């Protein structure tokens, strides 16, 4: 079956008897998000009817996991119980507002939310977590799903979609879309080869290997005029199709694109629940934002790790567990229980969120070689910073990463709590006050596996698309 027939079949399969949602269509609300540390304002760009059927699972219209900083709700006009769909998410703005720059100026970011098309008039209610991580209303707008002014988007990149792995109807699968940035027409074979390699590593790693049949993988790389992506810290500026760039928020390894409108237009030519943007670049780097996308440098020696680690942020809402690397975010004023499933403030040890995975009477906090790790890590970070400042070869950086990981694995393997599920101090970019569930995890160091708690969080997310 060719790809066009496959998509047409999806439209038929996606039809629903629901009186509230028209699953055969996908709506996207594009809007502008403006503000600083003291205020934020929202304004509509346009309501978009995407060209393909809604790929999501209508059996679970309400978000029960709530792992994002924001939450949107779709309310059907005239209904007694009006909330018909909801999803939590995070955003570039939500990260930017925690940086030093947000204390000095206002910025505007383009954002989107996607949902199955309601019947007729509806409203969107947007909420944001307050200082206690409780959701509070920040914006509400009334819309009409059938307004003749709604933009109808074309599937302009449909003929470029590569079906890497198809395991069934998108309505009950996780649809992963790999977008390539910085690949010229001549480099399309290289993109496909890399996308297949990374997908295979991803699908054979735990816990994705046990859920492989629940995942579809697609890929698109819009043709670039010039190979590669921007890296401003080295005076490399490239106007790549998706606008991916290193040095996001001034962090040399953080790769993002701010061109939301453009990558959404490309992505709408394929069914997707999650998006990974792989860049045609060798320098170590990546990023991941829950419910938005993740990024990974495709040609890095650590591409496999980056692909999986950053996907953990984007797909499962996992927090970073490391804390000795430099980041752009400011230290929080007060410590509250994080909403991410893999870190805790341990404010109430009796109600620790992963208690069901712990052995009874496990000491909390749980001992680990923290001092030895930090002493080594601080020295390692200085060497890393100097290598980047001196613009040394990527092979030297990779060797440093290798040596560091060998030290860490050896240090941890000797400790009696190496396999323990507990509360290990040091997580969420903070040395004190936050705890991770295991001594090591792919969210902490460049190891291969998710810990038990993160694995469970990933599978819970897969379940929302498949059950």
- Assign residue 90 the CATH number of its domain: 2.60.40.3250
Contacts 24+ apart (CB under 8 A), 3-6: 3/158, 3/159, 3/161, 3/163, 4/158, 6/163, 6/166
Of the pLDDT bands very low, low, confident and very high (cuts 50, 70, 90), residue 328 is: low
- Residue identified by tokens 């760039």 is 245
Instruction: Give me the mean pLDDT over the 48-64 stretch.
Output: 96
Query: In DSSP terms, which residues pair with 46 in a beta bridge?
Result: 30
Nearest to 456 by CA among 62, 171, 60, 67: 67
**Residue 275 included in any domain:** yes
Residues 51 and 92 occupy one common structural domain: yes
Rounded CA separation 168/184 (Å): 31
Rounded CA separation 236/285 (Å): 15
Of the pLDDT bands very low, low, confident and very high (cuts 50, 70, 90), residue 209 is: very high
**Residue 324 included in any domain:** no
**Res 436: pLDDT:** 98
Q: Domain boundary residue among 102, 134, 152?
A: 152
Q: For 348-373, how does the pLDDT look when each residue is reduced to its tens digit (9 = 90+)?
A: 999 999 999 999 999 999 999 999 99
**Res 220: pLDDT:** 98
Q: Domain boundary residue among 119, 152, 185?
A: 152
Of the pLDDT bands very low, low, confident and very high (cuts 50, 70, 90), residue 326 is: confident
Given a contact cutoff of 8 angstroms between Cβ atoms, the answer to whether 151 and 48 are in contact is yes
Given a contact cutoff of 8 angstroms between Cβ atoms, the answer to whether 443 and 311 are in contact is no
**Residue 323 included in any domain:** no
Residues 190 and 141 occupy one common structural domain: no
**Residue 462 included in any domain:** no
Contacts 24+ apart (CB under 8 A), 228-232: 228/182, 228/279, 228/280, 228/281, 229/181, 229/182, 229/255, 229/279, 229/280, 229/281, 231/281, 231/283
Residues 197 and 306 occupy one common structural domain: yes
Residues 118 and 198 occupy one common structural domain: no
Residues 19 and 135 occupy one common structural domain: yes
Rounded CA separation 95/423 (Å): 26
Residues 189 and 311 occupy one common structural domain: yes
Helix axes 303-316, 452-466, angle to 10 degrees: 60
Q: Which residues contact 150 (CB under 8 A, 6 or more apart)?
A: 46, 47, 48, 49, 144
**Res 93: pLDDT:** 98
- Residue 14, pLDDT above cutoff 60: no
Q: What is the dihedral of CA 222, 225, 226, 232, to 10 degrees?
A: -80
Residues 291 and 367 occupy one common structural domain: no
**Residue 327 included in any domain:** no
Q: What secondary structure does DSSP assign to 32-99, as a single string?
A: EEEE-SS-EEEEEEEEEEESS---S-TT--S-SS--SSEEEEEEETT-SS-EEEEEEE--HHHHHTTB
Residues 148 and 169 occupy one common structural domain: no
- Residue 315, pLDDT above cutoff 50: yes
**Res 213: pLDDT:** 98
CA atoms in the 13 A half-sphere facing the CB of 210: 8
Q: What secondary structure does DSSP assign to 187-234, as a single string?
A: GHHHHHHHHHHHHHHHHTSTTGGGGGGGEEEEEE-PPBSSSS-BBGGG
- DSSP strand pairing (256-257 vs 244-245): antiparallel
**Residue 25 included in any domain:** yes
Given a contact cutoff of 8 angstroms between Cβ atoms, the answer to whether 340 and 317 are in contact is yes
pTM metric for this prediction: 0.94
Distance, first Cα to last Cα, the chain: 26
Domain containing 309 — which CATH number? 3.40.390.10
**Higher model confidence: residue 330 or residue 236?**
236
Of the pLDDT bands very low, low, confident and very high (cuts 50, 70, 90), residue 9 is: very low
3-12, 131-140, 193-202: range with lowest mean pLDDT = 3-12
Residues 134 and 164 occupy one common structural domain: no
Residues 214 and 164 occupy one common structural domain: yes
Residues 114 and 26 occupy one common structural domain: yes
Number of domains observed in the structure of the chain: 3
Domain span at residue 369 reads: 343-449
Rounded CA separation 173/464 (Å): 9
Residues 312 and 176 occupy one common structural domain: yes
**Residue 338 included in any domain:** no
**Residue 217 included in any domain:** yes
Q: For 115-124, how does the pLDDT look when each residue is reduced to its tens digit (9 = 90+)?
A: 999 999 999 9
């Amino acid at each position: 079956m060719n790809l066009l027939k496959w998509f047409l079949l999806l439209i038929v399969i996606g039809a629903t008897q629901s009186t509230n949602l028209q699953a055969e269509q996908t709506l996207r609300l594009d809007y502008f998000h403006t503000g600083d540390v003291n205020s934020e304002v929202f304004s509509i760009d346009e309501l978009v009817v995407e060209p393909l059927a809604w790929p999501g699972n209508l059996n679970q219209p309400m978000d029960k996991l709530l792992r994002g900083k924001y939450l949107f709700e779709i309310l059907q006009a005239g209904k007694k119980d009006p909330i018909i769909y909801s999803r939590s998410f995070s955003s570039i703005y939500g990260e930017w507002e925690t940086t030093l720059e947000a204390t000095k100026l206002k910025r505007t970011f383009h954002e989107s939310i996607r949902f199955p098309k309601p019947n007729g008039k509806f409203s969107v209610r947007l909420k944001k977590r307050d200082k206690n991580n409780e959701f509070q209303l920040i914006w509400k707008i009334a819309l009409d799903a059938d307004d003749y002014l709604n933009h109808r988007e074309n599937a302009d990149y449909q003929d470029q979609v590569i079906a890497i792995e198809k395991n069934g109807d998108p309505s009950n699968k996780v649809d992963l879309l790999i977008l390539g940035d910085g690949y010229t027409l001549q480099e399309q074979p290289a993109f496909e080869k890399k996308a297949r390699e990374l997908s295979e590593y991803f699908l054979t790693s735990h816990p994705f290997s046990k859920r492989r049949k629940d995942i579809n993988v697609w890929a698109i790389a819009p043709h670039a005029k010039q190979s590669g992506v921007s890296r401003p810290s080295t005076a490399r500026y490239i106007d790549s199709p998706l606008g991916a760039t290193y040095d996001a928020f001034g962090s040399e390894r953080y790769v993002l694109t701010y061109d939301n409108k453009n990558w959404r237009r490309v992505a709408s030519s394929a069914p997707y629940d999650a998006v990974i943007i792989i860049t045609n670049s060798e320098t170590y780097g990546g990023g991941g934002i829950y419910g938005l996308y993740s990024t990974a440098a495709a040609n890095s020696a650590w591409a496999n790790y980056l692909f999986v680690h950053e996907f953990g942020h984007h797909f499962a809402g996992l927090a970073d567990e490391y804390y000795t690397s430099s980041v752009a975010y400011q230290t929080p004023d007060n410590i509250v229980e994080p909403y991410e499933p893999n870190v805790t403030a341990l404010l109430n040890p009796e109600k620790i969120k992963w208690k069901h995975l712990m052995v009874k009477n496990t000491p909390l906090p749980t001992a680990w070689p923290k001092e030895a790790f930090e002493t080594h890590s601080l020295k390692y970070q200085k060497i890393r910073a100097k290598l980047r400042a001196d613009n040394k070869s990527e092979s030297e950086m990779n060797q440093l990463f290798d040596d560091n990981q060998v030290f860490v694995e050896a240090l941890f393997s000797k400790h009696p709590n190496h396999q323990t599920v507990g509360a290990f101090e040091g997580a969420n970019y903070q040395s004190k006050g936050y705890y991770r569930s295991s001594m090591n995890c792919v969210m902490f160091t460049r190891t291969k596996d998710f810990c038990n708690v993160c694995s469970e969080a990933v599978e819970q997310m897969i379940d929302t698309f498949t059950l």
